[in-house]
Amino acid sequence: MSTSKQQTVAVIGATGQVGYPLTQALLALGHKVIVLTRGLQNEGAGKLSEFKANGAQIIEITDMSNKASMIVALQGADTLVSCVPGAKAIITELEPIWLEAAIAAGVKRFVPTEFGCHTRGLEYGDGVLFDYKKDLHKKILGSGIGWTMIYTGGIFDYFLPNLRYFRKITTLGNMDIPIYVHDINDIGRLAALAVTDERTLNRCVQLDYNALTQNEMLALLKQYHPDTQFEYEYFSEQFITEQRLVNNNGISAKKGAETDQERWGINYVNYVIGKLASFTDETLRATELYPDFKLCRTPAQAIADPEFIFEKT
């Protein structure tokens, strides 16, 4: 059960993969939403129009590195949520500015770009991208502002065996490690609950509704699509461990913006040391916070759906 009351939540990245369902859910819950966008006529214009029709305030800030503009835009906000992709430039250059602007504007809670691996449960050196995030965490915790960090585990699109982002069914490392994985709409709805919940202030929230291994994913794939001849590709734990230390700034994986070195660091965390999810002393389980939450769909339902498995992008 949520313990939130109506709040004003500013969202950066509201038209993105996580930001869109999160912003929809915030509005549906009755919160006031301020959407900060770099452009009103960009590819997310339709979603911005939808938000505005549902009561959101849309503020255009063409230069989000302008601290003064951000301070003005954040006036009256209780919480700032950053839903933009967690690239190095965002984490090391822009989010520190947004943090400072939030503090200057009197924002009470800062929610940084996480929405994936549990960075707080990792050690320096586990992955270069997480090292950037851990440096940012020091600034957040040292600033005195309230915070919440949302750790979603994997998103169905990237973690369930499918043909949408890879030509082959790709598996990695230890295939018996349990992987927490959730539908993007469930992630948005749960994140909206968590960032406005008084119980989650200065805590991490780990989504933990669905857990299955890669071997279990493959078994479901064969169960629901027995007549399909899939191609498979496997990357070993040794290969992943070596690749995460290679200084390669190329971008060859999927549609993401992470460099190859950053991507292999993520794979190392997920599939070698098994720390996609963590349950530290400062972490709350979503299943305990919201025991009555109804999932949009389970991993088995997604894998059984031909449109999910075979949709081309």
- Rounded-to-integer distance, Cα 175 and Cα 171, Å: 7
Mean pLDDT by groups of 10 residues along the chain of 313 residues: 78 96 98 93 85 96 96 98 93 98 98 95 91 97 98 92 75 95 97 98 98 96 94 93 79 61 89 96 98 97 92 56
Q: What is the pLDDT of residue 181?
A: 96
DSSP state of 25: H
CB burial readout 37-53, b (16+ within 10 A) else e: beeeeeebeebbebbee
pLDDT of residue 39: 80
Residues 6+ apart with CB under 8 A from 295: 182, 183, 186, 209, 210
The pLDDT assigned to 4 comes to 63
Q: Which amino acid is at 277?
A: A
Residue carrying structure tokens 């250059």: 93
The DSSP string of 261-278 is HHHHHHHHHHHTS--SS-
Distance in angstroms (rounded) separating the CA atoms of residues 310 and 112 = 33
pLDDT at residue 168, rounded to an integer: 85
Yes or no: say if 241 and 272 are a contact pair by the CB < 8 Å rule.
Answer: yes
- Which pLDDT does position 260 carry in this prediction? 79
Chain Cα centroid distance, residue 253: 18
* Global model pTM greater than 0.85: yes
- Give CA–CA dist 182/172, Å, rounded: 19
Residues 121 and 280: beta-carbon distance below 8 Å = yes
Helix (H, G, I), strand (E, B) or coil at 33: strand
- Length of the chain counted residue by residue: 313
Do residues 127 and 265 make contact, with C-beta atoms less than 8 angstroms apart? yes
